[in-house]
Amino acid sequence: MKQFDLFVADEAAPVKADGSSVKKRHPRSGLSEDDMVRQLQESGSYRILRKLEPRPVATIACPEFPLRGVILDTETTGLNHRKDEIIEIGAVAFTFDAAGTIGDVIGVYGGLQQPSAPIPSEITRLTGITDEMVAGQMIDLRQLRAIIEPADLIIAHNAGFDRPFCEAFSPIFAGKAWACSVSEIDWASRGFEGTKLGYLIGQAGYFHEGHRAVDDCFALLEVLDKVRGEPGRPPFAELYEASRRSRVRVFAENSPFDMKDHLKARGYRWSDGSDGRPKSWWVEIAEEALDDELRYLRAEIYQWDEADPPSKRLTAFDRFKA
């Protein structure tokens, strides 16, 4: 294995109290940081991660990117939007065009909110947010509204979690189109080994301070805008295209109990009816797959040609709701 010595010792090093010297090491003369990175990468023995630096906010947005997106992240006191509360919201607004090409960052908001009860210790361990940090804090809805209202699309990394919390928090989120960067991008086909933001960031060549809302928003922006491996469309172009396609939620209402394992194996999930949906197994599919799914249910589950399970057409305006 080839060995690199990228640093040289400082001969005029300070002397410690015991008489020994402390040799400081500096980059070799003429060897820039980029040169060091290149040599390490070319050795094949190292993988370099760059610290993710937030993009600057443009004072004047380029007119060729007429659409507006917002990457949004929340930190909460728990997982249930009906009883738990938002303690932090981060939002990064950016421009993009009809092809899904990202333009400029045009706005940033981050705010803390004191909940009605102390923050659970496990949430503090996960997020780093303490009761002292949120004491007396309140999310500024005026600033947040200025970012959210003009948005053509809101993106969250697990929109099924963030959207219900946001809509329970404020009506400014009502009627907006949402996209999910976990479920609406085929990360595996792009060479990524997982969908957690930390994995995506690391495999994209970056590291960042995770689990704070604005930091996570900027991190996701970089991943969405990065083409990894072979030349092609960035992930955001795929996400934007997916957000414009209709989906259909099919409910296997009144299906035989002994068919539950078959439905589960096919990707159906159980709804207990508490969220306003029928009490049944359900699945969400592409609109063009509806006829095939109905044939499957009639032939394999109900075993009755006249069975007519209910379905609901969904767009980005109603997907990921509670």
State pLDDT tens for residues 183-217. Answer: 999 999 998 989 999 999 998 888 887 668 999 99
Q: Is the pLDDT score of 57 beyond 90?
A: yes
Instruction: Please tell me the pTM assigned to this model.
Output: 0.83
Q: How far apart are the first and last CA of the chain?
A: 55
Q: Which two tokens stand for residue 310?
A: 């209910």
Q: Is the pLDDT score of 87 beyond 80?
A: yes
**Rounded Cα–Cα distance for residues 301 and 27 (Å):** 69
What pLDDT does 29 receive? Answer: 54
**Rounded Cα–Cα distance for residues 89 and 76 (Å):** 9
Q: Is residue 173 within 8 Å of residue 119, measured between CB atoms?
A: no
Q: Which of 61-65, 102-106, 137-141, 271-275 has the lowest mean pLDDT?
A: 271-275
What pLDDT does 274 receive? Answer: 77
Average pLDDT over residues 85-114: 98
What pLDDT does 10 receive? Answer: 56
What pLDDT does 135 receive? Answer: 98
What pLDDT does 1 receive? Answer: 44
What pLDDT does 253 receive? Answer: 95
What pLDDT does 311 receive? Answer: 95
What pLDDT does 50 receive? Answer: 85
State pLDDT tens for residues 232-288. Answer: 899 999 999 999 999 999 999 999 999 999 999 999 999 998 777 889 999 999 999
Q: Which of 15-19, 165-169, 170-174, 256-260 has the lowest mean pLDDT?
A: 15-19
284 burial (CB, 10 Å; 0-12 / 13-18 / 19+) is middle
What is the C-alpha radius of gyration for the chain, rounded to an integer number of angstroms?
A: 25
Q: 37 or 313: whose pLDDT is higher?
A: 313
Print the SS3 string covering 37-76. HHHHHHCCCCCCCEECCCCCECCCCCCCCCEEEEEEEEEE
Q: Which of 121-135, 220-234, 303-317 has the lowest mean pLDDT?
A: 220-234
Q: Which two tokens stand for residue 234?
A: 């960035």
Query: Closest Cα partner for 102 from 145, 70, 137, 140?
Result: 70
Q: Is residue 214 within 8 Å of residue 55, measured between CB atoms?
A: no
Average pLDDT over residues 139-156: 98
**Rounded Cα–Cα distance for residues 106 and 59 (Å):** 7
Q: 50 or 302: whose pLDDT is higher?
A: 302
Q: Is residue 92 within 8 Å of residue 70, measured between CB atoms?
A: yes
What pLDDT does 2 receive? Answer: 45
% residues pLDDT > 70 (the chain): 89
**Rounded Cα–Cα distance for residues 16 and 50 (Å):** 34
For 155, other C-beta atoms within 10 Å of its C-beta total 28
Pairing between β-strand 67-76 and β-strand 50-51 as defined by DSSP bridges: unpaired
State pLDDT tens for residues 35-48. Answer: 887 887 777 788 78
Distances from the Cα of 84 to the Cαs of 77, 102, 117, 161, 220, in angstroms? 5, 34, 10, 12, 25
Q: Is the pLDDT score of 109 beyond 50?
A: yes
Q: Is the pLDDT score of 9 beyond 70?
A: no
Average pLDDT over residues 282-310: 96
Q: Is the pLDDT score of 13 beyond 60?
A: no
Average pLDDT over residues 17-22: 52
In the sheet that 269-271 helps form, which strands lie side by side, from edge to edge?
A: 269-271, 280-286, 247-252, 311-314
**Cα torsion angle, 24, 28, 32, 35, sign:** negative
